Chain A
Amino acid sequence: MAEKCPACGSCGMPLEKPEDYALGDVTRPYCRYCTDARGELLPYDQVLETNARFYVESQGVTPAAANAMARAMLADMPAWRGRN
């Protein structure tokens, strides 16, 4: 099997290189897209919007479908688990 790399605890993005991590710090649990300039985790709604936009821009799905898929993706992530 391919060598496993860690994944962002918020969105699941593979963390392959130091620059993928918040502040380029490989000890941090989240990626650079899910964190602010201080390396802190962004609010859920902002992470949701970023992920939904990724679906829309890449495949042209409707905003509603993108939002539902992003919600499903985030639901089991350690950062958001247990959230309604």
Chain B
Amino acid sequence: MQAATRREQKVVTRDRLVNAAMALFARKGIVATTTADVARSVRMSHGVVFLHFPRRDDLVIAVIDEFGRRLAVEFRQAFEQNLGLRAVLQAHLRVLAEFEPFYARLVTEAPMLPPKVRSTLMMLHAAVSARMFMALERDRKAGRARKIERPLLFNTWIGLVHHYLVNRDVFATGASVIAERGDTLVNHFMTLVRP
């Protein structure tokens, strides 16, 4: 019983650290944030942070993993309902909106981040690409889309979305560029894939 409580406490602490890190990364930048900053923001000792996340990169990867898990849930629902590319793009944007300030920092700083972090982000992209392509093929068989090579299908979409995210200060009047421009981006992209 006591062991279970300790395990639960460990999970709660870990989640607090991941949430605090995500907020700090978004506000201060990923490269500029240290594990000591994260410890201070949750009023925990640096040792506690180190116990859960020995390196700052482990915290960044934990946030990306959280993003990936949310995305997997949304994609699974879209697929179980047999939905097409539009639904996959909308699901992608829904999760991006939840993580928007962090994700915008992540893509802005990606070339400066260590290989493991960048590889994790690119693996997440690979998963999105796979889902997009499966949905496109489904639409194509139904006569709603044309044939597009998988890398260009994904790169065209992510290039568009990242441009708006990285420059969100000039594309949005409020806090979320995805909320303001997301529908336009999806509608535009769907016109590009039409047969």
Partner-B contacts on A (CB < 8 A): 1-5, 12, 14, 16, 54-55, 57-61, 68-70, 72-73, 75-76
Is B47 an interface residue, CB under 8 A from the partner?
A: no
Quick check: A58 and B115 within 8 Å, CB to CB?
A: no
Number of interface residues of B (CB under 8 A): 28
Residue of A nearest to B158 (CB): A59
B68-82 interface mask toward A, CB cutoff 8 Å, 1 = contact, 0 = none?
111011001000000
Quick check: B15 and A1 within 8 Å, CB to CB?
A: yes
Contacts of A4 in B (CB 8 A): 69
Q: Which of B33-41, B117-125, B162-170, B172-180 contacts A (4 or more CB under 8 A)?
A: B117-125
A12, chain B: closest CB distance, angstroms = 8
Partner-A contacts on B (CB < 8 A): 15, 18-19, 66, 68-70, 72-73, 76, 115-116, 118-120, 122-123, 125-127, 129-130, 149-152, 154-155
Complex Cα gap A57–B70 (Å): 23
Quick check: A72 and B69 within 8 Å, CB to CB?
A: no
Quick check: B116 and A1 within 8 Å, CB to CB?
A: no
B71, chain A: closest CB distance, angstroms = 9
Quick check: A16 and B72 within 8 Å, CB to CB?
A: yes
A-B contact pairs, 6 of them (CB 8 A): A1-B66, A1-B69, A5-B69, A58-B126, A59-B129, A72-B119
Given contacts A1-B66, A2-B73, A16-B76, contact A59 B126 (CB under 8 A): yes
Contacts of B150 in A (CB 8 A): 57-58
Residue of A nearest to B14 (CB): A1
Quick check: A1 and B18 within 8 Å, CB to CB?
A: yes
Complex Cα gap A12–B149 (Å): 26
Contacts of A57 in B (CB 8 A): 150-151
Contacts of B18 in A (CB 8 A): 1
B130, chain A: closest CB distance, angstroms = 6
Given contacts A4-B69, A16-B76, contact A59 B125 (CB under 8 A): yes
Contacts of A61 in B (CB 8 A): 122
Residue of A nearest to B128 (CB): A58
A59, chain B: closest CB distance, angstroms = 5
Complex Cα gap A57–B150 (Å): 7
Residue of B nearest to A7 (CB): B65
